A and B are shown apart, each in its own frame.
Chain A
Amino acid sequence: MTAQIATLLVERGAPGTPSRVDAFAVPFAPGQSLLDGLRWVRAHADPTLALRYSCLNANACKECMMLVDGVVAYACTARLEAREVRVGPLPNKALIRDLVTEIAPPDERFPSARPGDRA
C-alpha cells in the first residue's frame, strides 16, 4: 500500500514565549493514529517535540489529550488523514511545553515547599 501524507501543523512553545506553528509532512498507512504520527515526527524530524503519553494504544492512561483541529481529543485514538491537521495543547490547562500541559490533580503535583525540605 502506498503511504499517504498527513500535514501536521503543530503549535509549539513554552510559557512566556510567543508560540509558533511547525509543519511536518508525515507518511502513514490508513488506520494509524495521530500519536503514531507525532512519534514519527520525533524520530524522523524533531526529537525536541514535547508531548505526553504513556500507554500508546490502550487509551488507558488518558495523558495524550490535546487540541486536534480545535477539538479536545486523544492523540492515540484520533486517526491520521491525508490533509492538514492543526494540533495544539489543551487550552484550559497551564502550558508546560509544546503539546504538554499540567493535567495532574493539584495534590499530585510537585509539593510546594514544606518545613524540613532543605538539603
Chain B
Amino acid sequence: MRHLAADVLVIGAGAAGMYAAIAAAGQGAQVLLAERSLIGRGGATVMAQMTVAAAVGEAAPDHWQHHLADTLAAGRFLCDEALARLLCEEGVEVIKQIDAWKVGWARTPDGRMAQVHAPGHDRPRCVYVDFLATGTAVSRTLRTQLNRQGAVRRVGDLVVTDLVRRGGAVVGAVAWHLASGDVVTIAAKSTVIATGGLTRLYRRNSASANMGGDGYALALRAGAPLIDMEFVQFFPIGHLAPRLVGMDPIMWDPFRYKLGGRLLNRDGEELTQRYGVAEDGRYVATRDVATYAIAKEVEAGRGSPAGGAYLSFEHVPEARLREAFGPVIDRLAANGIDLTRMPVEVAPIAHYHMGGIRADAAMATAIPGLFAAGEAVGGANGANRLSGNAITEALAFGRRAGLSAAAHAARSREVDWSREAAADAVALLRDSAPARDRPNVAAMLAMLQDVMQDEVGPFRTQAKLASALARIAALRRDLGDRPFGSGGAYDAERLDWLDLRCMLAVAEVVARTALARTESRGAHQREDFPAMRPDWAVNQVVTLRDGAVALARESVRAASLQAVAV
C-alpha cells in the first residue's frame, strides 16, 4: 500500500481539474492531481470539437448579463442563478486567460476573436479553435501551464474509488493504481471532484470510457447531495451511419454552425418544421426541440434507414465545404463519405449532464473539505444547457474550486487523517469475489447501457422507468459487494467491477429522479406527462440515507450578490 499527502487533492484531469490544480498551486498549495486515465486525455474536454461561449464581446458588443439571460432561459426556470452567473461572468476572464496562455482562439482578419452564433444565444458569442480542435487546444494549453507548476504532482492511472470521511469532513481518498495494482491512500486538507459527467451510462454516447459518473457516486457515498440528476442532455444529431471511425460522433454540430445544413426525414421533408421550428437551411433548433423532432419522426415511421434522421449538405458547394473544414473533408472521404453527394444519418446521443454535485458559488459542497468543479457540478444549466457553456463552466468552476480549496487548506493546519477512517475502502480493494460463477462484468456493463438507453433515454414513461429500476436492482445483485478479479496490474475485470459499482448507483439516481418528476421540462421529457408544470419549477436533491437513495424537492436558488462575491 502507498500513502500520499497533499494540501489539495484534485480528482480528474479535464479542463476543470487542471484549472483547479493550476489555481490552487498558484495560491501556494501542494496539489495532487489524480487521473484515472492519462493527464488531459481521459475526459470530455480533449474531445470537445466545437465552440465555447463567453461574452468577450469581440464579434459584437456583449455583456455577461446577456449571456446569463440566455443561460437562464435555456434552463427552463431551474438554474441555480449564482452558479449560472459565475459561469457567465468569470467565464469571460478564463477565456481571456487561456487566450493569454496561447490556446489559439480563431481570429478574424483584423485580429479579434472570431465568434459564431450558436442556437439559444442572442448574438455571436462562441469562440473556437480551428479545425474542430477546441478541446485538444484547451487541454494542451492547460497541461502546459500545469507542467510549469512545480507544486502539482500529476499522477495518471490512478482511479479514486472512495472518499474518506472523518469527523464530518472529507480528509482524503482511497484509490487503485491501475498500472501497478497498488492500493493508495491519500490524505488531503481539501478535495476537489472534477470527474466530469455520466454519459457512459448510455449505449449511444459521445464521451469517453471514463465518464461513468464516478464523481457523483463518490460524493453521494461521502454524504454530499446531488441535484437535478434527471436532466441528461442528449445531443440531437450524433453520427449514426455510415460507420465513421476516427471522428467524434458529434462532429456535425460545427458543420451546422458554419454551413447550416438540412435536417430531413425519410421523405426529404424538413424535420423540425412539424414541431414548430422552421430552419430553412439555418441552424436554429435548440437541442431539446431537435431531439424531440427526430425521436417523433422515427416513431412515426418517417426516420432514416438506421433509425434517425438525414443530415444533408448536398446543396453546399464543395469549395465551401473545403474552406470551412479543410482536412476534415479528407477524413470523411477515408470513411467513404462524400457530403456533396450523400446525406449522413444522425440520431440523439447522450452528451452532457446538467445535474451533478450540489455546490455553492465557491464550489464548496455540503461536506467540509469537499469541493466540486466542471461537469461534475449540477445546477448552473438547469433543465437544458446552452451549447458552448460546458467548457466555460469547466474552466470557470475549475479556477474557482482551486482557489476555494487552497483557501480551505490554508485555514486547516493539519489534515485529520487516520488509517481507520480509510479501512473499509481499503478492504474493498483488497477483497476478491470467488472466481467461480462470476458473470461477465463487461457484458453486464453493456446491459446497463442498454437499459439506460432504452428506458431512461430522452423520452420517459412511468412503465419504462419502473422497468429500468428493476433491471438496475437485478444487475446490482449480480455484481455483489466483492470485486471481481484479483486486483493485479491493469486487472480489466476489476476495473469494470469498480466502474459498474459507481454506474449502477448513479443510474438508479437518474431513474429515480426521472420517475418522481411527473412533468416534462427541457431535457427531461415524460410521454405520460407531456406538459411543463409550474409546481415542478423546483430542484430535486438526492442524498444517501443508510445506503438508500432519498429524494427531496427544494426551491430554486435565486442569485444573491453575496454568493458570487469573491
A76 & B245 in contact (Cβ 8 Å cutoff):
yes
State the total of A-B contacts with C-beta under 8 angstroms: 148
Q: For the complex, is A18 an interface residue (Cβ under 8 Å from B)?
A: no
Report the nearest B residue to A113, measured CB to CB: B2
A47 to B444, CA, bound (A): 10
A50 & B179 in contact (Cβ 8 Å cutoff):
no
B489 & A14 in contact (Cβ 8 Å cutoff):
yes
Taking residues whose C-beta sits less than 8 angstroms from the other chain, chain B's interface range is 35 or more
Q: For the complex, is A66 an interface residue (Cβ under 8 Å from B)?
A: no
Kindly provide the distance from the CB of A29 to the nearest chain B CB, expressed in whole angstroms.
Answer: 7
Measured between beta carbons, the chain A residues less than 8 angstroms from B1 are 119
Q: Which of A49, A77, A108, A109 contacts B245 (CB 8 A)?
A: A77
Number of A residues near B (Cβ < 8 Å) is: 48
Q: Which of A30, A63, A77, A96 contacts B37 (CB 8 A)?
A: A63
A106 to B493, CA, bound (A): 26
Q: For the complex, is B108 an interface residue (Cβ under 8 Å from A)?
A: no
Measured between beta carbons, the chain B residues less than 8 angstroms from A77 are 245-246
Q: For the complex, is A62 an interface residue (Cβ under 8 Å from B)?
A: yes
A116 to B5, CA, bound (A): 7
B490 & A32 in contact (Cβ 8 Å cutoff):
no
B341-359 CB mask vs A (1 if < 8 Å, else 0) is: 0000000000000000000
A116 to B32, CA, bound (A): 14
Report the nearest A residue to B485, measured CB to CB: A48
* With A43-B446, A54-B42: A60-B135 Cβ-Cβ less than 8 Å: yes
A109 & B156 in contact (Cβ 8 Å cutoff):
yes
A102 & B245 in contact (Cβ 8 Å cutoff):
no
Measured between beta carbons, the chain A residues less than 8 angstroms from B38 are 54, 61, 63, 103-104, 108
* With A55-B208, A62-B41: A96-B442 Cβ-Cβ less than 8 Å: no
Measured between beta carbons, the chain A residues less than 8 angstroms from B208 are 54-56, 61
B47 & A60 in contact (Cβ 8 Å cutoff):
yes
A54 & B493 in contact (Cβ 8 Å cutoff):
no
* With A60-B46, A76-B245, A117-B4: A97-B442 Cβ-Cβ less than 8 Å: no
A66 to B14, CA, bound (A): 24
Measured between beta carbons, the chain A residues less than 8 angstroms from B157 are 104, 109-110
Q: Which of A100, A109, A117 contacts B3 (CB 8 A)?
A: A117
Report the nearest A residue to B422, measured CB to CB: A119
Report the nearest A residue to B182, measured CB to CB: A110
Measured between beta carbons, the chain B residues less than 8 angstroms from A117 are 2-5
Measured between beta carbons, the chain B residues less than 8 angstroms from A103 are 38
A83-111 CB mask vs B (1 if < 8 Å, else 0) is: 00000000000001110101110011111
Name the residue in B136, B244, B490, B496 with the highest tally of chain A Cβ atoms < 10 Å from its Cβ: B490
Between A and B, 30 residue pairs with Cβ closer than 8 Å are: A31-B336, A32-B245, A39-B442, A42-B492, A43-B443, A44-B443, A49-B492, A50-B491, A55-B47, A55-B207, A57-B244, A57-B249, A58-B49, A58-B249, A59-B245, A59-B247, A60-B46, A60-B136, A60-B248, A63-B41, A96-B179, A98-B492, A104-B39, A108-B39, A108-B154, A108-B155, A109-B156, A117-B2, A117-B4, A119-B419
B residues near A (Cβ < 8 Å) are: 1-5, 37-39, 41-43, 46-47, 49, 135-136, 147, 153-158, 177, 179-180, 182, 185, 207-210, 242-249, 335-336, 419, 440-443, 445-446, 484-485, 488-493, 496
